[in-house]
Structure 1
Amino acid sequence: MSFEWPWQYNFPPFFTLQPNVDTRQKQLAAWCSLALSYCRHHKLYTLDIMEVQESPVFNHKNIDRKLSTEAILIVFEELRKKGNRAAFIER
């Protein structure tokens, strides 16, 4: 069974953090949901921030858009704040 991408994934502005506070909160909620769903579907329990930048979840090659490293860190911080067991691990 293949992963089903949400509609936002094909919307180029989704890959740029929005400046409006309300819009950004909705966008971050969508990114958190996408990241958790993707990890659940693919049975991923850890993600390397540097490697995940090139993974399909944050890099949509068909529309030539990717979430910036800074934005990925913001998504992971949002997951951590919401108690989704996201944690930064030093290497």
Structure 2
Amino acid sequence: MQKLGNFKLPNFFNYPPYFTLQPVRETREKQVQLWKELILDYCKSQKIFIVGLQDDFPLFSNPVIERSLSHEAKEVFLTALVTEGRAEWMDKHHKKCLILWLRIQDWANYILNFVKENGLEDSVMTVEDIRSGIETRGSELAGIDRGVLMRALRLLEQKGKAAIFKGTSADDEGVKFSA
């Protein structure tokens, strides 16, 4: 089985037709589904939040079989993720895509569970501590995209589970969690 770093690639990754958009509807639906799962799994395992259509994203080419996805194919696969709510275009020209291997609601739930499991209710943390602090090392929160984190925190704030405090700079914004 081929690997990309420590990530095991699925068998279809070595099948040249999967790097070309398939004309038969049923085949294309299967192809799109496989690519959606691959993109989500890879991004989650590598903690990648942003995929650019122009970028040298490792999944979009396979040097072993000398195949690469066309611009159209990349856009089809990412648009399918957007349609499912698992990604969002970051610009109107569809050049960059924010990948949500967890939806914002799921991130909010993850944060709340993390806070409860680690006894952090009624404590204040900075946004940067959540992204890169000792408490979150080894968790899904380590290295989380700041925009995704802020959206999840705002959702928790709307539900009365957190209060966001503005700091003098973006680096010292704080959050107080309540159970």
Q: Same fold (TM over 0.5)?
A: yes
Identify the structure with the greater helix proportion: 1
The aligned counterpart of 2:43 is 39
Q: Decide which moves more: 29-38 or 55-64.
A: 55-64
Number of residue pairs matched? 88
SS in 2 for 1:62: coil
Q: Following TM superposition, by how much is the alpha carbon of 1:59 offset from its aligned partner in structure 2, in angstroms?
A: 0.6
TM-score (norm 1): 0.90
Identify the structure with the greater strand proportion: 2
Q: Following TM superposition, by how much is the alpha carbon of 1:48 offset from its aligned partner in structure 2, in angstroms?
A: 1.4
Unaligned runs of 5+ in 1: none
SS in 2 for 1:57: helix
Unaligned runs of 5+ in 2: 96-179
SS in 1 for 2:88: coil
% identical aligned pairs? 35
TM-score (norm 2): 0.47
The aligned counterpart of 1:2 is 6
Is residue 60 from structure 1 mapped to residue 44 from structure 2 by the alignment?
no
The aligned counterpart of 1:48 is 52
1:9-68 C-alpha deviation (Å, 9 max, x unpaired): 0101110111000010000000000111110111001111110xx322011011100010
For 1:87 and 1:55, the matched residues in 2 are separated by 17
For 1:34 and 1:81, the matched residues in 2 are separated by 16
Detail structure 1 runs of 4+ shifted over 4 Å in the superposition.
none
Is residue 19 from structure 1 mapped to residue 18 from structure 2 by the alignment?
no
SS in 1 for 2:89: coil
Which gives a bigger RCO, structure 1 or 2 (Cα 8 Å, sep 6+)?
1
Which of these residues, 57, 77, 80, is aligned with residue 78 of structure 1? 80
For 1:28 and 1:80, the matched residues in 2 are separated by 12
SS in 2 for 1:25: helix
Note the aligned Cα RMSD (angstroms): 1.4
